[in-house]
């Protein structure tokens, strides 16, 4: 008995591959441990990011969350890109899946970086604003020259001095779960 259905082009293989590509990848956003050490610190950017995200009462550092709140701010656009990745998978397009996942990561990364400027964080302490950083030392390691304070430079936004931490925020589309 014939069904009356004629297959013109079998896309089952592409569909299966694209669905596997979608379900076997993750979009990660944050500061990788390999981002390296932060200027004038023994800590890495990832460690400094964690301290600022969570705060450190022992060091009198208030929480200034940027990662979760930055992602939350772009949630609609991120979900839209993830939905596009699902649609691409159902169309059998592995390239479309990859493109949409990359775009979701980029949207999240840019939103987190923007959150360093647009936020409601506790302002910097006066002592931090008025501290003059050491810019030169003699052979014995004693300070010989001090730079301008953050207040004098107009750098009063928390977590933005050199922008090194903000630039360390990135995304990665990783295979595997």
pLDDT at 58: 92
* 101: in domain: yes
Instruction: Look at 9-18, 44-53, 71-80, 165-174 and tell me which has the smallest mean pLDDT.
Output: 9-18
Provide the token pair at 133. 């950083």
pLDDT at 73: 95
How many Å apart are CA 92 and CA 46, to the nearest integer?
A: 37
Q: For 127-165, what is each residue's pLDDT tens digit?
A: 777 777 777 888 888 888 878 777 777 777 767 767 888
pLDDT at 158: 66
Distance from chain centroid for Cα 6: 49
Q: For 23-68, what is each residue's pLDDT tens digit?
A: 789 999 999 987 666 666 788 889 989 998 999 999 888 899 999 9
Q: What is the pTM of this model?
A: 0.76
Tell me how many domains the chain contains.
1
* 3: in domain: no
* 129: in domain: no
Q: Which domain holds residue 59?
A: 13-119+155-175
Instruction: Look at 68-77, 93-102, 124-133 and tell me which has the smallest mean pLDDT.
Output: 124-133
* 160: in domain: yes
Computed over every residue of the chain, the mean pLDDT equals 84
Provide the token pair at 113. 């970086």
Length of the chain as a residue count: 177
Q: Which are the contacts of 104, defined by CB distance < 8 A and separation ≥ 6?
A: 27, 78, 81, 82, 85
Instruction: Let me know: does 98 contact 52? Beta carbons within 8 Å.
Output: no
How many Å apart are CA 61 and CA 15, to the nearest integer?
A: 50
The answer, yes or no, to whether residue 87 has pLDDT greater than 70, is yes
* 7: in domain: no
Q: Which are the contacts of 106, defined by CB distance < 8 A and separation ≥ 6?
A: 171
Phi-psi region of 4 (alpha: psi -120 to 50; beta: other; left: phi over 0): left
Q: Tell me how crowded residue 175 is: count the other CB atoms within 10 A of its CB.
A: 8
* 138: in domain: no
Mean pLDDT calculated for residue range 11-34 = 82
What is the DSSP secondary structure assignment for residue 125, as one 8-state letter?
A: P
């Amino acid at each position: 008995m014939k069904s009356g259905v004629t297959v013109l082009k079998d896309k089952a293989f592409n569909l299966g591959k694209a669905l596997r590509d979608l379900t076997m990848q993750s979009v990660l956003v944050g500061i990788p441990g390999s981002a390296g050490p932060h200027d004038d610190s023994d800590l890495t950017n990832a460690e400094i990011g964690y301290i600022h995200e969570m705060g450190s009462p022992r060091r009198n550092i208030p929480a200034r969350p940027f990662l979760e709140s930055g992602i939350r701010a772009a949630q609609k656009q991120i979900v839209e890109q993830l939905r596009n990745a699902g649609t691409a998978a159902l169309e059998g397009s592995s390239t479309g899946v990859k493109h949409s996942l990359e775009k979701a990561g980029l949207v999240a990364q840019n939103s987190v970086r923007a959150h360093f400027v647009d936020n409601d964080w506790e302002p910097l302490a006066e002592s931090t604003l008025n501290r003059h950083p050491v810019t030169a030392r003699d052979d014995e390691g004693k300070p010989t020259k001090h730079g301008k304070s953050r207040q004098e430079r107009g750098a009063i936004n928390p977590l933005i001095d050199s922008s090194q931490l903000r630039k360390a925020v990135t995304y990665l589309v990783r295979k595997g779960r």
